[in-house]
Amino acid sequence: MEKSAVFEETYRHYLAELGTIDYLARADLLGVEADGEELIIPLYNRTYSVSSTGINAREGAALNDAVRVILAKYVLTCPDQLPPL
């Protein structure tokens, strides 16, 4: 099956956006861990590393482009801080 150009383009765009924000500072708000320059995000019994250079499965398994887009958007939509109550 051929890879969708839309997912690849969106993924590359989101990586560029991650490079413009302090995504590591959002680890606590996201409920995930930071390890070096990566966020470590569990999803559906797998663990993924997210950084501005790429999104990968920690176990080395093949990664679906849709999962990459979902994880990137998850980090990008997290606010810098919680709104006041």
Q: State residue 7's pLDDT score.
A: 86
| Domain assignment of residue 82, yes or no | no
| Domain assignment of residue 11, yes or no | yes
Torsion angle in degrees (nearest 10) through CA of 33, 34, 39, 45: -30
| Domain assignment of residue 81, yes or no | no
Q: How many domains does the chain have?
A: 1
| Domain assignment of residue 66, yes or no | yes
- pLDDT tens digits, one per residue of 21-70: 999 999 999 999 999 999 999 998 899 999 999 999 998 888 888 899 99
| Domain assignment of residue 16, yes or no | yes
For the question of whether the overall pTM of this predicted structure is more than 0.85, the answer is yes
How remote is the C-alpha of 52 from its chain's centroid? 8
| Domain assignment of residue 38, yes or no | yes
Dist. CA 38–CA 33, nearest whole Å: 8
| Domain assignment of residue 60, yes or no | yes
The boundaries of the domain holding residue 20 are: 5-76
| Contact predicate 38/48, CB 8 Å | no
Dist. CA 15–CA 9, nearest whole Å: 10
Reading the block at residue 2, the tokens are: 């051929």
| Domain assignment of residue 21, yes or no | yes
